[in-house]
Structures are given as structure tokens and as C-alpha cells.
Amino acid sequence: EDKVVQSPLSLVVHEGDTVTLNCSYEVTNFRSLLWYKQEKKAPTFLFMLTSSGIEKKSGRLSSILDKKELFSILNITATQTGDSAVYLCAALLDSNYQLIWGAGTKLIIKP
Amino acid sequence: DADVTQTPRNRITKTGKRIMLECSQTKGHDRMYWYRQDPGLGLRLIYYSFDVKDINKGEISDGYSVSRQAQAKFSLSLESAIPNQTALYFCATSPQGSTDTQYFGPGTRLTVL
């Protein structure tokens, strides 16, 4: 059975801290791994990772994929209260382009 | 203007009623998806469509049906709503090709009493 597991399920840190969110996957026909940020409403796209070892960066956020160990991490440096959200990862299947979603990590940044 | 719109945004209905949720997109994407989101379970795929003539079941299609009326429109129906279909429903679109990222609508919060 295809599955994506995120950890931790929730995390509370103070502004300025650095956080690392984890996503491991066990899927057949893996194509890519995607990260989304969900605040109050719809998820918004952050990164898509297809190749191992190539870091994607966007401001204070960065992500990397390890296709040998089947995981990805999302790093956020110098966190701000606006980073508070649920962060979702999903594995995209090559066979039918379905996304298999993790349950998300709820991140709370305290001032 | 939003690229992916959903109507209604909120709906409360009773058990046994037929409900239709609609999704429209102006992104010109071929692929459209319906998900439901429940607390602690993440997003689960209900149906997806790769073009107007191609509709596929996702992991939780029982109790749901869909219609792809046009490239830009993809509707989800609950033929006879039941309380455990209370959830947040999202429509998403994606282009063909190498990007493979999905763009989400704002969601419809459905409550079945």
C-alpha cells in the first residue's frame, strides 16, 4: 500500500528558530515529491522535488529529496509567525499521476 | 480573479439529500481533481480527470460521482449524502507536462446532518 508519513505531527517553536519537517514515503512508481503550505484554506504550492540531492530554495524555505532513503525534509530558517500553518507533503505517482498525501505537520510559531 | 473557483463555499444539508459541488478553472489545465480533507487524515483523492473524456476513481470514490462538463468544469455529486461525508472538499487542477503541480480551489465546507 502506498503511503506517505510526516513527522512530527505538530511542532511549536519560537520566532527566529529553525525547524525541519520530515516526510518519508513508500510508494510504487514514484515520480516526484511535493510540499504544500496550508493556512486557513486551500493548500498553496511550495516545492516539487524530482531529483535526489538537489536543494530547492525559496527565501527562508528549502527542501531536499533523498530517493535512496525515501524521504524529504523541509527547512524553515528564522521562522516568523506567518510561517504558522500545516505543511503537507505528497508523493506523485508516475503511473497515474495521483498524489499520495501525508497527514501534515502543524507548525505553530510563537512570538 | 481566482484561477480555480468552487461553489458553494459552505453547505449544510440533511442525510439522504443529493448535493452537487462545482469547480471551474480559468487556467486552461486539462487535469482536474476532487479531494476531501478530514482532520488528521490529510487530503484523500475522490476522483480525477485527465481530460473531458477521461475520468478515474481515486482512493475513496464510493458514494460520490463526477461529471466533466467541459475542460474548465468538473462537478462532484453526492447522490445521497451521509454524515460521514462531512468534510472540506477541494478541487484542484494541473497542466500536462513536466510541472505536475496542482493548484487548489478555496474549498467547500460541507456538513451533513
pLDDT in tens, B31-72: 899 999 987 777 888 998 988 898 988 888 999 999 999 999
Say if the Cβ atoms of B90 and A43 lie within 8 Å: yes
User: Are B27 and B3 within 8 A, CB to CB?
Assistant: yes
Residue A99 to chain B, least CA–CA distance (Å) = 8
Question: Residue A96 and residue A82: Cα distance in Å, rounded?
Answer: 35
Mutation target vs B (from A97, A98, A106; most B CBs, 10 A cutoff): A97
Chain A residues touching residue B44 (CB < 8 angstroms): 101
- CA dihedral defined by A99, A104, A108, B3, rounded to 10 degrees? 30
Q: Does B39 touch chain A (CB under 8 A)?
A: no
Tell me: pLDDT of A53 over 80: yes
**One-letter amino acid of B86:** T
The single residue listed with the C-alpha cell 496550508 is A38
The pLDDT-based confidence of B98 (bands split at 50, 70, 90) is very low
- State the pLDDT at residue B64: 97
Question: Residue A18 and residue A83: Cα distance in Å, rounded?
Answer: 11
User: Are A94 and A47 within 8 A, CB to CB?
Assistant: no
Q: What is the mean pLDDT of residues A44-64?
A: 91
Question: Residue B108 and residue B94: Cα distance in Å, rounded?
Answer: 19
The pLDDT-based confidence of B26 (bands split at 50, 70, 90) is very high
Reported as half-sphere exposure (CB side, CA atoms, 13 A), residue B57 has a value of: 7
Q: What is the mean pLDDT of residues A73-78?
A: 98
Q: What is the mean pLDDT of residues A58-68?
A: 95
Say if the Cβ atoms of A42 and B106 lie within 8 Å: yes
A105-110/A10-14 β-pairing: parallel
Residue B20 to chain A, least CA–CA distance (Å) = 19
**One-letter amino acid of A30:** F
Please say whether the dihedral angle defined by the alpha carbons of residues A14, A15, A16 and A18, taken in this order, is positive or negative. Answer: positive
Which long-range contacts link B47-55 to residues 24+ away (Cβ below 8 Å)?
B47/B76, B48/A97, B48/A98, B49/B74, B50/A97, B50/B96
Is B98 or A52 the better-scoring residue by pLDDT? A52
Q: What is the DSSP string of A32-85?
A: EEEEEEESSSS-EEEEEE-STT--EEETTEEEEEETTTTEEEEEE-S--GGG-E
Question: Residue A41 and residue A34: Cα distance in Å, rounded?
Answer: 18
Please tell me the least confidently modeled range out of A11-20, A48-57, B28-37, B93-102: B93-102
Residue B41 to chain A, least CA–CA distance (Å) = 5
- State the pLDDT at residue B42: 79
What are B42's three cell numbers?
490529510
Chain B residues touching residue A88 (CB < 8 angstroms): 42-43
Say if the Cβ atoms of A101 and B43 lie within 8 Å: yes
Q: What is the mean pLDDT of residues A50-62?
A: 91
Say if the Cβ atoms of A45 and B103 lie within 8 Å: yes
User: What average pLDDT does chain B have?
Assistant: 90
